[in-house]
Amino acid sequence: MDTVSDARPLHFLSVTEASRLIQTRALSPIDLVEAFLARIDAVDGRIHSYITVLAARARRAAEQADAEIAAGRWKGPLHGIPFAVKDNYHVAGVPTTGGSRLMADHVADDTSTIVGRLEQAGAILLGKLNTWEYGTGNGQIYHDLPYEVARNPWDLARFTGGSSTGAGAAVAAGTAMFALGSDTGGSIRLPAAACGLQGFKPTFGRVSRAGCIPNCWSLDHTGPLCWTVEDSAIVLQAIAGHDRRDPTSARIEVPDYRQFLHQGVRGLVIGIVRDLGPEGAALDAANATAIEAAAKVLEAQGAIIRDVRLPAPLTHYRDASKIINWSESLSIHEQDFTERHHLMGQALREKMMSGFMVRAVDYIAALRLRKSLAKATDALVRSCDALLLANAFHIAPRFDEPETVPLFTSDTACSVFNMTGHPA
């Protein structure tokens, strides 16, 4: 079986839909995995969402899941669901390249905590996904890395968003049902924006980062890219929770993320940030129109839309974020840069040089500013039930207009919530 009753291919089912079919035995995990492997074979030569495909491993896991479910041992909504991960997540016995020549021969000896949690929940790993080098860079694409650049499935001439390039491309193309990405300044949310997905950056400390190559110690977040909010809630349910392997992991209870999902928004106060200051002038008309359309839908469903403003200019968040990111990233990769910089791509080299230029006093000042920004932003967040504002300021740029590609990464409001740690 490679289609469902409405004639949609299996590879375009949501997690929620596929899970219901698997639970009722209307769909076998074996058939589902085979549909995704066939889809990878058919389209990924053009899209380049994967660095490593683990076909044999996935087939074995599908057979095991099928047998467990047939025996009445259904583990939950992720049992038998195929997924893939950005290639900065370690999986024991599997190559982790980080998209870099520096790790071309690296085979992991442990597994990322959240990949392990997904597999314990019965999800089936299809492979490792394309990424900017070490999940980092300067926003520019120089086409100088060992792997082909991931392409946007909606238009192969366009960018997928970075740095979780393969994660966005894979879900949108139907080469993975959901994906794990990582987000330091928007690297989950920007691919989601470019590829028409639900990208979620959890609260800092809510999801473990253990077993994921670090980019910036204090700004990194791990999280999912999915088709729907409900899919995202299902994945978050499996991966959230304290992890002793991650010293920043929060010791707080994990709620039921789907408990209130279908109760609607009537009566909720949603703060909309229309005024983004001078930086907001960069917002494309299409993006501004989409935000207003979303607000109208929410209002029609009974939400109270209230105009609010960020407590500080976007430049304050962005500039402090850059200083922290450059400094901490250099502290992570300094040895590689000093000893093997010739193997690095230009984007990563330039970011390392930026780190060398930051003074200790600048870093300390950025940390102090971050604390005040987080406190003020938290007051705004507490004043309403949710915030609505532009994530990316532009539509997905074309590769043949290279000057627009770094703007897609830099013209955003993403860094606000990496700096404060709020979910986004």
Cα–Cα distance, 370 to 218 (Å, whole number)? 11
Give a yes or no: residue 251 inside a domain: no
Whether residue 38 is found in the same domain as residue 177 = yes
Give a yes or no: residue 225 inside a domain: yes
Whether residue 229 is found in the same domain as residue 372 = no
Mean pLDDT of 37-43: 98
- What confidence tier does 137 reach under pLDDT thresholds 50, 70, 90? confident
Domain end point (choices 224, 239, 254): 239
Q: pLDDT tens-digit profile of 171-216? A: 999 999 999 999 999 999 999 999 999 999 999 999 999 999 999 9
Whether residue 314 is found in the same domain as residue 398 = yes
Rg (the chain; Cα; Å): 21
3-state helix, strand, coil in the chain (%, to 5): 45, 15, 40
Q: Does the annotation count 187 as an active-site position?
A: yes
Q: pLDDT tens-digit profile of 267-278? A: 999 999 999 999
Which residues 6+ apart lie within 8 Å of 107 measured at CB?
A: 93, 94, 95, 96
Q: What 3-state DSSP class applies to 248?
A: coil
Give a yes or no: residue 344 inside a domain: yes
Give a yes or no: residue 184 inside a domain: yes
Give a yes or no: residue 252 inside a domain: no
> What's the domain range around 322?
269-420
Domain end point (choices 219, 239, 259): 239
Q: Is the pTM of this model over 0.95?
A: yes
pLDDT at residue 51, rounded to an integer = 98
pLDDT at residue 4, rounded to an integer = 57
Whether residue 409 is found in the same domain as residue 322 = yes
Which residues 6+ apart lie within 8 Å of 416 measured at CB?
A: 310, 314, 317, 377, 424
Q: Is-contact 363 407, C-beta < 8 A? A: no
- What confidence tier does 400 reach under pLDDT thresholds 50, 70, 90? very high
Could you tell me what percent of the chain has a pLDDT over 70?
99
Query: Of the residues 19, 28, 163, 327, which is catalytic?
Result: 163
Whether residue 79 is found in the same domain as residue 212 = yes
Q: What are phi and psi of 94, to 5 degrees?
A: -120, 140
- Burial pattern 163-191, b for ≥16 Cβ within 10 A else e, equals bbbbbbbbbbbbbbbbbbbbbbbbbbbbb
Whether residue 414 is found in the same domain as residue 297 = yes
Whether residue 184 is found in the same domain as residue 65 = yes
Mean pLDDT of 324-351: 97
Strands 178-183 and 221-226: antiparallel
Q: pLDDT tens-digit profile of 285-297? A: 999 999 999 999 9
Check which CATH number belongs to the domain holding 208 and give it.
3.90.1300.10
Whether residue 221 is found in the same domain as residue 123 = yes
Q: Does the annotation count 415 as an active-site position?
A: no
| Mean pLDDT, the chain, whole residue set | 97
Query: Of the residues 187, 329, 410, 415, which is catalytic?
Result: 187
Q: Is-contact 130 85, C-beta < 8 A? A: no
Whether residue 66 is found in the same domain as residue 143 = yes
Query: Of the residues 86, 128, 201, 351, which is catalytic?
Result: 86
Mean pLDDT of 128-140: 93
Whether residue 225 is found in the same domain as residue 322 = no
Is pLDDT at 20 greater than 60 in this prediction? Answer: yes
Whether residue 292 is found in the same domain as residue 359 = yes
pLDDT at residue 356, rounded to an integer = 96
- What confidence tier does 315 reach under pLDDT thresholds 50, 70, 90? very high
Q: pLDDT tens-digit profile of 355-378? A: 999 999 999 999 999 999 999 999
H runs (alpha helix) in 105-208: 113-120, 165-173, 189-195
pLDDT at residue 1, rounded to an integer = 53
**What's the token pair of residue 328?**
């901490």
**What's the token pair of residue 311?**
């407590």
Is pLDDT at 314 greater than 70 in this prediction? Answer: yes
Handedness of CA 405, 406, 407, 408 (dihedral sign): positive
Give a yes or no: residue 247 inside a domain: no
Give a yes or no: residue 248 inside a domain: no
- Count the domains in the chain: 2
Cα–Cα distance, 354 to 161 (Å, whole number)? 22
Is pLDDT at 7 greater than 90 in this prediction? Answer: no
Q: How many residues does the chain have?
A: 424
Q: Does the annotation count 86 as an active-site position?
A: yes
- What confidence tier does 3 reach under pLDDT thresholds 50, 70, 90? low
Whether residue 160 is found in the same domain as residue 276 = no
Mean pLDDT of 101-112: 97
Domain end point (choices 239, 261, 288): 239
Is pLDDT at 6 greater than 80 in this prediction? Answer: no
Give a yes or no: residue 249 inside a domain: no
Phi-psi region of 287 (alpha: psi -120 to 50; beta: other; left: phi over 0): alpha
Of 118, 209, 133, the closest CA to residue 166 belongs to: 133
Q: What 3-state DSSP class applies to 178?
A: strand
